[in-house]
A and B are shown apart, each in its own frame.
Chain A
């Protein structure tokens, strides 16, 4: 039986934020597409399963023809317009996905963060690297997560299932669920 008095505090805190998120579709290895994205975002187009960061801007590899640009909300409109202009004539798509997704931040001891996701995702969290982005299954939903620095794990999922994700994460990160 679970006894709350015997519970451990894992030290994991969960917060959310609502940055701008722009989905880019196009051939990520195409030189012209790359140049246009790099010029506007100021970031190098990432290698497969990599996420790169500069200040408040992040660019994530989501698939061979998909990248996700995460940026402050107040830079969203200008960046969308600049990307549309830079990619004019290319076989590419720029879509504002800011309201389609929810971003969670889990902070706490590194081992506790890895344990939290290991309970929910079929991923070897011991081998998970800083700067890597992993799209996978979070219990019954699709999610993607990365660690830009030790002690802080970021996770995105669709907004329509954000409550489910929040409940799952809270449960898995909460008191009394320490894995030994």
Chain B
């Protein structure tokens, strides 16, 4: 069971109280982007077995969006952080390095 703790209201709830919003930290390529960048934004997603960064919404609770870093294989949640950011916080990355030495995700490691 995946248990998430919403950073906006503090509730720890199981997965069905939330709604997954897909991969985190995508750059929304728009007019002016080259073809490869737009294609990447539209179609290319990470699908890791292990460390992953996602957007979630506390849809049955406070209604807010947030980010979560978790392990897709074990469902361990490394941490949650605000939606209003374009990259994971450094202290969270340190936690993941400690728990999953050698992990990589897009440009992060």
Contacts and interface: CB of A to CB of B under 8 A. Distances in A.
Interface residues of A, number: 13
A122 interface: yes
Majority DSSP secondary structure for residues of B touching A: loop
Contacts of B61: 135-136
Interface residues of B, number: 14
A142 B13 CA distance: 14
Contacts of A63: 8-9, 62-64
A57 interface: no
A134 interface: yes
Contacts of B10: 48-49
A122 B9 contact: no
B78 to A, nearest CB: 22
A64 interface: yes
B60 A137 contact: yes
Contacts of B9: 48-49, 63-64, 135
B17 interface: yes
Given A49-B11, A122-B16, A135 B60 contact: yes
A71 interface: no
B17 A137 contact: yes
B29 interface: no
Interface string A34-65: 00000000000000110000000000001110
Nearest to B15: A122
B14 interface: yes
B13 A62 contact: no
Contacts of B13: 122-123, 136
Contacts of A136: 11, 13, 17, 60-61
Contacts of B8: 63-64
A64 B61 CA distance: 11
Contacts of A66: 62-63
Nearest to B12: A124
Contacts of B64: 63-64
A75 B62 CA distance: 27
A123 B59 CA distance: 15
Contact of B16 (A48, A64, A135, A137): A137
B67 to A, nearest CB: 16
5 contacts: A64-B64, A66-B63, A134-B11, A135-B60, A136-B17
Ranked 6 nearest A-B pairs via Cβ: A63-B62, A137-B60, A122-B14, A135-B61, A142-B60, A137-B17
Given A64-B8, A137-B17, A137-B60, 6 more contacts: A63-B64, A66-B63, A122-B13, A122-B17, A135-B60, A136-B17
